[in-house]
Structure 1
Amino acid sequence: MVAQLDYPRMQEVFRRFSAAEPHPKGELEHTNAFTLLVAVALSAQATDVGVNKATRALWPVADTPQKMLELGEEGLIEHIKSIGLYRNKAKNVIKLSRILVEQYGGEVPSSRAALISLPGVGRKTANVVLNMWWGHPAQAVDTHIFRVGNRSGICPGKDVDVVERAIEDNVPVEWQRHAHHWLILHGRYICTARKPRCADCLIRDLCGFEEKTE
C-alpha cells in the first residue's frame, strides 16, 4: 500500500485542486434535497449520465415525496427503466417517499442516522446529500475515491470506511468541504482505473503511485 502523504504535501495537493476548480460540484442533476436524494440512490451501479438522462423527465412531475407517491411505482419504473436495478430502486424510492411524508412532513432529514434509516439509502448516499445540500464536510467514498486515495497516498485504506476516516483525519480542515468532489472528478477524468492519465495530472509530482504512465 502507498504510504500516507505528509501534511505539507497534502496541503499542496488540495491547494492545486482548489486553484483548478474552486467550486467543484457533483454531476447528478437535481432541484431540491429530495431529488438529490433520489438521484444519488438511483446512481448505485449506474452512471451519472444515465441517471440524468432518466430524471430529466421525472423531476417535472415528481420532485417531492408526495408527487412521487402519486406517480406510483409503475409510473416511476417507466421513467427509470433504462437504469440498472430499476425495479428494486423504484420500490425503495416509493417506500422512502412514504416515510418522508408520514414521518418527516415531506422533508428530507438532515442527520446521517435518519437518512441511512431510509430504504435504499446507505452511508455513501447519506454523505453525498449531507455534503451537497447542507454543506456538511461528509466524505462519500466511491470507487473513484478509493482508487485515487490508495494510488496517490492521499487517503489509503483497505476499505471505504477506512478511506473515509483517512480523509476526515488527514485532509486539512479547510479543504474537507470539497475534498470528495475533487477526488471523484480526479478519478473519473484523470486517475482512471485502467490507464491513468499521469501526464495530465496536476499532482503528479506529489503522488505516491510508482507505476506512473507517460
Structure 2
Amino acid sequence: MNGWVYAYYALLIACFIISLFYLEHREVKLLCVLLGVSIITEVIVELIGTEGLGFFIVYHFFVVLEYSLITIILRSGIRDYRWRLLMGISIFVFCMVSLFYSFVLGGWRAFPGINITIESFLVICWCLLSFFSITPDSEASIFRHPVFWLTLAFFIYFAASVSVNAFYNLLLENDTTRARHFFAVLNSLSNYLLYIMLIKGVVCFRSNRISL
C-alpha cells in the first residue's frame, strides 16, 4: 500500500471522527453512516487482497449503498416535493438496475465502471439541483453554508469519477498494473478533495462564522 492510499485512509478516518461530534444534524448523521460504510468496505478489500479480481464484488454492493445515502443527504436540502419524490424513486430504480447489471450482464468480477458512471451522472444532477436550492438563512456568505460544501464535495468527486472510470476497464484489459496505478493516483486525488470539503462542510454546521 503506497503513500497515496495511506493519506486517503487518514482523511477518511479524520472526516469520520469529526462527523461524530455533529450527529445532532441529520445530514451529518447520514454522512457518518456513509463514512462508516466506506471504512468497512476498505477494510474488507484490504483483508481480501487486490491481487485477483474477486475484491470487485465489494464495490458492486458499495455503489448501491453509496448512491442511496448520498441521494438522501442531498434530498434533505430540497424543498420541492416533486423533486424529493423523484430522488426517492431513483434510489430504488438505481439499486435494481445496478445489481441486475452486476450479476447478470457485467459480472461481479468486473470493475463496476458502468454502475459508477450511472451513479456519477445521477449524483451530479442532484448536486446541480441542490446548488440551485440552497437558501442561506442570513446574508452570510454562501461559503459559510454547510450544504454548499457537502454538495460541492460530491459534485467534484463524481465529476472526476466519470472521467477515471470511463477508461479504467479498458486500461485494465491491456495493462493491469498500470491501470491500477493510474486509478489509485487519480482516485486518491479526488478523494483528498472530497474529504477536505466534507470536513469543511461538517465544521460549518457548528458556526456560520466559518468561511474561506
**Where on the TM-score scale, by shorter chain, does this alignment land: which range?**
0.3 to 0.5
Point out the structure with max Rg over C-alpha.
1
Question: Which of the pair has the greater relative contact order for Cα pairs under 8 Å at 6+ separation?
Answer: 2
